Each structure stands twice: as structure tokens, then as C-alpha cells.
A = this chain, B = another copy of it.
């Protein structure tokens, strides 16, 4: 049995994430999706709460054969203890998937295997694109799995990101 770990902010969970999960699913039996910056919400960069992101992920993967866990990870703002923090919050995992250089470095120093893939870069690019379209009234729905659309609509997510994007800082 192999369990993988895939960290992201999932703001929101989109097709780029979804392809990554499908790719990883060929290599592992179970996958933990670590929801980073779980405490952040209500900003243009991080519009959705951890609870909303759990819903997006769970609903999008409900028909998948892969056993998945959506686990919120709050920021500790200490790179040197980040791996221990993740390991205590997550079901035990054998391999981490990431293209983020900092994440790779931290896992490597802790002796955790990390696998990279060029396609992982899609998730960062698409996240910004999705949020830009949400703010500007563009067609964001086709960039995310269908259940994500429902979660966002139920939470009034579009009105939220449009309004908070008018603020020039990330906090109150």
C-alpha cells in the first residue's frame, strides 16, 4: 500500500489540480490532499475557507477509485518545523508530490521522497487565471470540475472575491 501527499492551496480546486490527482493516482493507492494556508480566506489570493475547499475536493473526487483525504493545514510560519507539522496533521504518507522548490527542499532535508513533474506547474498558473476570471466576470466555470461550481455558488463566492478584491491589502 502506497500513500501519497499533495499540497496545495486549492483556491479553488480546478482542472489543473484534477489532472495532477489523476496522474498521481496511477502511482499510489491513497492520496492526502493537504489544504495549505487553511486559515486564510476572504482575500483575492485566498478567497475560500478551508471548509469550502474540503467540499470542493471531496465532491470532485467522489467517483474516483482513489482513496483520498482532504486535510486542512494551518500555517505555522516556521519553515524549519513545517514538515513535522504536516506529518502530524496528515495520515502517514510515503511520497510527496510537488514542484514547489521550497516544499521540495524541506521534504528532502527531512528525508521524505519527493516526486516532481512538469505538469504540476499547471496548478499555479491556472489558480491565478481562475481567480482573475472570477473577479473580472469571465468564464471561470470551465476551468474547474463541476461540483466546484456548486460549492462556490452556494457560498456566494463570486460576490465575495469581487468585493474583497477592491481592498488593497490582505487583512482587515
Minimal beta-carbon separation of A124 from chain B (angstroms): 9
Listed stretches A16-24, A47-55, A139-147; interface member:
A47-55
> Is B105 a contact of A75 with CB atoms below 8 Å?
no
> Is A41 a contact of B103 with CB atoms below 8 Å?
no
Quickly give the copy total for this chain: 6
Determine whether A132 belongs to the interface, using a CB cutoff of 8 Å to chain B: no
> Is B78 a contact of A39 with CB atoms below 8 Å?
yes
Q: What residues on B are CB-neighbors of A49 within 8 Å?
A: 80, 87-89
Determine whether A112 belongs to the interface, using a CB cutoff of 8 Å to chain B: no
Interface residues of A in 18-53 (CB under 8 A from B): 36, 38-43, 49-52
Q: Whose C-beta in chain B lies nearest to the C-beta of A36?
A: B172
Q: What residues on B are CB-neighbors of A154 within 8 Å?
A: 92
Q: Tell me, in angstroms, the Cα distance from A41 to B74 when the chains sit together.
A: 16
A-B contact pairs, 16 of them (CB 8 A): A39-B88, A40-B79, A42-B80, A49-B87, A49-B88, A58-B91, A69-B70, A78-B85, A79-B172, A80-B85, A101-B164, A101-B166, A102-B167, A103-B172, A104-B163, A106-B172
Show the binding face of A for B, using Cβ within 8 Å: 7, 36, 38-43, 49-52, 54-55, 58, 69-72, 74-85, 87-92, 100-106, 109, 154-156, 160, 163-167, 171-172
Known A49-B80, A104-B163; 4 more pairs at CB < 8 Å: A51-B89, A58-B69, A72-B72, A109-B156
